[in-house]
Amino acid sequence: NQKAVSVLGLGDMGAALAGALLAAGHRVTVWNRTAAKAEPLVARGATSADTAADAIVASELVVVCLLDYDSVGQVLAPHTDVLAGRTLVNLTNGTPGQAREMAAWAADHGADYLDGGIMAVPPMIATPSAFVLYSGPSGAFETWRTVLDVFGESRYLGDDAGAAALQDLALLSGMYGVIAGALHAFALVRSTGGSTREFAPLLSEWLQGMVTWPVAAAEQIDAGDYGENVVSNLGMQAAGFANHFIAAEEQGISAELLRPLHELMQRRVADGHGHEDVVGVVELLKR
Residue 63 interacts with ligand NDP (CB under 6 A)?
no
Contact 134, 157 (CB under 8 A): yes
Exactly one of 3, 4, 27, 33 binds ligand NDP (CB under 6 A); that residue is 33
Q: With binding defined as CB under 6 A, does residue 79 bind ligand NDP?
A: no
Q: Does 49 bind ligand NDP (CB under 6 A)?
A: no
Kindly give the residue spans of alpha helices, DSSP state H, lying in 81-137: 96-108
Q: Does 274 bind ligand NDP (CB under 6 A)?
A: no
Q: At what angle do helices 163-190 and 96-108 cross, to 10 degrees?
A: 150
Collapsed DSSP state (helix, strand, coil) of residue 2: coil
Which one of 75, 140, 185, 269 is in contact with ligand NDP (CB under 6 A)?
75
Size of the site for ligand NDP (CB under 6 A): 22
Q: Please state the closest distance from residue 24 (CB atom) to ligand NDP, in A.
A: 19
- Looking at the Cβ atoms of 67 and 180, the one nearer to ligand NDP is 67
Side by side, the strands of the sheet bearing 4-8 are 47-48, 27-31, 4-8, 61-64, 87-90, 112-119, 131-135, 153-156
Rule CB under 6 A: is residue 66 a binding residue for ligand NDP?
A: yes
- Binding to ligand NDP (CB under 6 A): which residues in 182-211? none
Distances in whole angstroms, Cα of residue 147 to Cα of each of 5, 45, 61, 276: 9, 17, 9, 48
The correct pick among 26, 37, 86, 100 for binding ligand NDP (CB under 6 A) is: 37
In the window 121-150, what residues touch ligand NDP (CB under 6 A)?
121-122
User: Does 34 help bind ligand NDP (rule: CB under 6 A)?
Assistant: yes
- Residue 113's nearest CA partner among 149, 132, 85 is 85
Query: Pairing mode, if any, of strands 61-64 and 153-156?
Result: unpaired
- Residue 103 CA to residue 208 CA, distance in Å, equals 39
Site string for ligand NDP, 5-24 (x = CB under 6 A): ----xxxxxx----------
Smallest separation (angstroms) from ligand NDP to the CB of 30: 10
The distance of closest approach from Cβ of residue 212 to ligand NDP in the complex, given in angstroms and rounded to an integer, is 25
3-state secondary structure (DSSP) of residue 81: helix
96-125 residues near ligand NDP, rule: CB under 6 A: 118, 121-122
Q: For residue 165, what is the enclosing H or E element?
A: helix 163-190
**List 74, 127, 129, 243, residue binding ligand NDP (CB under 6 A):** 74
> Judged by CB, which is closer to ligand NDP: 66, or 89?
66
Burial string for 64-101 (b: 16+ CB within 10 Å, else e) reads bbbeebebbeebbeebeebbeebbbbbbbbbebebbbb
Residues that bind ligand NDP (CB under 6 A): 9-14, 32-34, 37, 65-68, 71, 74-75, 92-93, 118, 121-122
